[in-house]
Every structure is written in structure tokens, then in C-alpha cells.
Amino acid sequence: MKALVDFISAKDIQKSIIYEHLKCTKKEAEILRYLASKFVDGQDDLLVIELLQDLYDTQNYSYLEHLKEIKNLLELGWLHQQSFTPLKISEVTPLELLNTAVGLTPSCLKLLQDGSLDLDLPEVKPYGDHLEYLQDQFFRIELYQKMSLIRQNVHEHSLGIGRVQNKLKLLEKRIEERVEQTEESLVLDKFFKQKKMNNYEQVIFIALLREEYSASETSLREMNSLIDLISVDEYERIKNRSLLEDGSNLLSNGIIDYEEMLNPFGGISRSFYIIDEVLQSIIHPQKRKKVTRLKLGALIEEQDIFELIDSETSLEDVVLNDKTKEVLQNLMKQVDKEVINRLVEWGVKDKKSGIDARIIFYGAPGTGKTMTAYSLAKSLKRQVLAFDCSKILSMYVGESEKNVRKIFDTFYELSEKTKTEPILLLNEADQFLGARSSGNITGSDQMHNQMQNIFLEQIENFKGMLIATTNLLENIDKAFSRRFNYKIEFKKPDRAQRVLLWQKMLPKDAPYEDGFDVEKLAEHSLTGGQINLIVKNTAYKVAVRKEPLFRLQDFISEIAREKDANFDSEKSMGFLNN
């Protein structure tokens, strides 16, 4: 307690042991000394007005001039407010502090006790192993976090950013010196040098590594949190954002990757993680086994059940009626982190599971069911494993039941191997979902019923997102209908939607006759799939002419031919909007 006694009793406060560490004026130090003496006498805090009246002349209220010193000491982190509603110091005027109570912060008391706030580091010696090195690096991240918190809000219990920066410099110098003295190569240090990672890239990597070790659900994985960790001001935030953008060193070299989550405002936030192979090489440096995250595309080539779809269109591109669009947007919000946390907290959702949804898209052919399924997957940053349900009955008799299980077993196997959550799309699922036969049934009916029972069981226990498309909802067995928590109808487009479809699908750079009017084409009741076919067939017809020119009559003729041929039964092509 030598420093405390010296500070209280020193004739010249500027010559006291701790004065140089305070980084404040002599008047401010006198205020701290007065509070220190009161603390020793058993008084933890004091009203600012009483403090100033005890120290300064009360005539003409001249003591009010010293309120600025109180504010400075609060900002430096030597004083804190003893109040149920503490003020944000950076935003208040000195006069607002007059009737608040203040006391010495833990950091100030530590300084009075030890005589210094310098980081107490052991002597420099070589690292015994990579875990010792990691321990120092994780402490380094803690100091970066402290500085980030101080920058965001001057808190009454903070140490002050200058002192934390001093600790950080001492620690980083010590790490550098210990690495130089260590003869054996340290895995993480070697990795940093191989990848030519600068200081900020190292901080990002170590912060993510610390998250892996702590297994906590902190916000350090989020993009803005990582940027705040290494940025002093708004300019640096904008500049350092490039470190986490696609094409950066960390992402392009396969060091880290991210998952995207939808937020309640319709935006997308990124949550970063270290690539499995890199993580294992750091955590278990002695293991030589290469750990990789298998790609779904490579595994698809080894099986003949699913088609892998990577959609190029999102929901914003699809023409939908307002009600259908609203249902899909609400569905997408299920992947929002805040929504998931609520459902887990209420016991409705398993913490480890992703989005859970069993969906039926129903409506006439050509209304965009399949295309919407692809586009929904694109908006959710998912791939699609598509299965054509018409295949199931073409397989050997007696094998259909087994093949139903195989669909789901293979889906789970692919998801597990690749550590991904693709969407399972069952196209043309009418025969799976239709009403089961009863009464006098044939052997074929019995087989069909058995296949449906197995399918019903698989739907009941399905985890993840499943979309089934069908043309007729009224024929669906009620037992199946209850298992799907979303039933979304796809109606034929109205006139306004047909205008959008024609505008999208008509060739952009083709020559058209004068007075060509899309509105006249939209008068004809057609689905998106039909419009798509009509545009293509008309284009082929016009392209062979010596003077190719798109005329309204060309499309009218093709529309008539489509209607006469009853193309409503054609397979849906989906439809898009600009």
C-alpha cells in the first residue's frame, strides 16, 4: 500500500509514485487524492457538489468551474458514477454531473494498491508447446475486445483505451520475443507466415479460433463484430471490411468461410468460421489425417437418385401473387438467428437443427412451382436435391417400398457427409400423396398403399426442408395434408403478372415491328410455362426468315396453336420476373 500512502500524504502530488500513470492534470489528481482519503476513511462515494464544495471556494459558485475536471476523470476511467441510471459521459454536459455521486474505479484502486498498471509479464522464455503460444494469443484477443468496447461506449468501469493499448503493445512484443527464442516451429506462427497474413488478418483468425476453443455463442463470429475488433474509427471499418469480403486473402485461400443468415429487416448477415482442414491442423498439429468437407456435387455423381440444382434465380426474380410471396417471406424468416433462439428458448425447436419445414406447392402446370422451389433455395443460400417422383413406379414391382426409404436414406447420407442442409424437392408427388385405396383392393393397390404408408412415415420424421409439388391438392390423402405445415397455392397469373412475364421472356435485342404491344399478348390467359414455350417456338420460326422481324401476329398464331394442342398438360418450366 506504499503507493496509496504516498499519494495521500505527498506534499507535491506531481512527485507521487503514481502521478505519471494518471495522465491527468494536477487539479484532477487533487480530486482523486481527496476521494482516496475519503475511501480510506470508509466512504466509497461522494456527491459531486459536496466534493467540489469541500475542495474549492463556494463564494460566487466558483466551484462549478471544476465540473470539467470531474467529467475528464470519468472519461479517463478513474471515476465512475454511483447511480441507478448512469449517464453516458461522452454525451452529457459537466453541469449534469453536479448532483450525481462518484467514486474511484477498480482500475484506480488497483493503481493505488500496486503503484502501476503495467502488464505484469513473466520473464521472456521459449514457448514449451503451441498451447502456451495459443494462451498468449487468446489473451491478445481479450485486449482487442476491451479496446473495442471502450471505443463503442465510454463505460464508467473501463480502464481507458490508452492503458489497454499499452498492455497490448507489451504483450505483442513479448509474443514476438518468445517466438524468436523458440527453436521448434510453432504451428500457428508458421501458418501465419505461410499464408502471408497481416496483423489484422491474424487477429480475425485468432478470434475465430478462440471461439472454437471456448465453444461459446458469442457475436465475435459476425462480420460487424470482427470489423469492430480491429477498427479505430468509421474510416477503418470501411477499409477493413475488405478483409472479410469475397476475394480477400482469408476467403480466397480457403482459410475461413462464412454462413449467411437472414435478419428481420430482409438483409443478410455473415457468420464466419475456420475451414475444417485448417482448424484441425491447428488444434491437432500431430495428426496428419486430412479432414475435408466433401462437396455435394462430387457425391451426386456416385448415385442415380437425385439431381443437384444450383439455382441462378432468387425469389425476387419470380412472379408470384402477393399472398404466396408473403407466405414464402415468412418462411424465410425462420432462418433468422433471433427467431431460432426464441424457438429454442420456448422448447419448440432443437438447438442443433436448422430450418424445419414440410411444404406443398400445388397448382396447375406451368404456374412456377418448380422454379419457385429453386429460387427459394437460392434466397436461403441452399442447394436442391431434386427427385422426380414419377420414376418410383417404373422400378421393379415389389421394390417400390424399398426405394421410398432409399430416397430419404440417401438424402440424409449426403447431408451428413457434406455437412450441408440442402432442400429435398419431390417433383410431381401426386402418386405419393393421393388418397389410399380401401375395400376390395388388388395386389397393385396393396403395394401402392404400402409405399404411401412408408412415405407418410418418412414425412412425419423428416428433419430439414422438404418441398413437394403437385397439381391437385383436393386429391391429397388427409393424413398427408396434416403432415405438411405449409400448403402454398400457385394460381394462373393475372393480366398484370402476364405483362411482367412477357416483358421478361421476350428477347431483349431482337427486332420488333412498329407498334408491337405486349399488353395485347397479355390479354390471353396463359401460364408462365406456356408463355415460355410460345416465346421459344416463335423465335425459332422468326429466326429462319431472310428478314427476321417479330410481329404480334406471329405470337398470336403460336398462342392459338398452344391452346388447341392443350399444352396445359406440359411440364412446368417456371416463370421469372426482371
Is residue 209 a contact partner of residue 274, using CB atoms and an 8 Å limit?
Answer: yes
Strand-strand pairing, 384-388 and 307-309: antiparallel
Q: Distances in Å between the alpha carbon of 335 and those of 167, 380, 421?
A: 40, 8, 12
Give residue for cell 509514485: 17
Q: Write down the pLDDT at residue 509.
A: 87
Adjacent-strand bridge partners of 260: 270
Is residue 527 a contact partner of residue 366, using CB atoms and an 8 Å limit?
Answer: yes
Q: Write down the pLDDT at residue 157.
A: 41
222 by DSSP, 3-state: which? Answer: strand
Q: Write down the pLDDT at residue 576.
A: 47
Name the stretches of the chain with pLDDT < 70. Answer: 82-91, 117-123, 152-163, 215-219, 261-268, 285-294, 334-337, 350-355, 392-401, 434-444, 474-475, 566-578
Element (H, E) at 272: strand 268-274
CATH number of 495-569: 1.10.8.60
Dig out the grid coordinates for 224 from the structure.
460487424
Question: Which residue in 74, 131, 127, 130 sits closest to 97, CA to CA?
Answer: 74
Residue type, 227: I
**First CA to last CA distance, the chain:** 74
Is residue 226 a contact partner of residue 244, using CB atoms and an 8 Å limit?
Answer: yes
Q: Write down the pLDDT at residue 353.
A: 56
User: Which segments of 153-198 does DSSP mark as H helices, in order?
Assistant: 161-181, 187-194
CATH class of the domain whose range is 2-114: mainly alpha
Q: Write down the pLDDT at residue 156.
A: 39
Strand-strand pairing, 307-309 and 423-427: unpaired
pTM, two decimals, is: 0.49
**Torsions phi, psi for 258 (to 5 deg):** -145, 160
Give residue for cell 438467428: 337
pLDDT tens per residue across span 290-311: 444 457 777 777 777 888 888 8
Q: How far apart are alpha carbons 33 and 565 in whole angstroms?
A: 97
Q: How far apart are alpha carbons 380 and 332 in whole angstroms?
A: 7
Q: Would you list the domain boundaries of the chain? A: 2-114, 130-283, 296-490, 495-569
Question: Which residue in 257, 231, 235, 229 sits closest to 244, CA to CA?
Answer: 257
Which CATH number among 3.10.20.30, 3.40.1740.10, 3.40.50.300, 3.30.200.20 corresponds to the domain 296-490? 3.40.50.300
Q: Where are the beta strands (DSSP E) in 58-140?
A: 79-81, 101-104
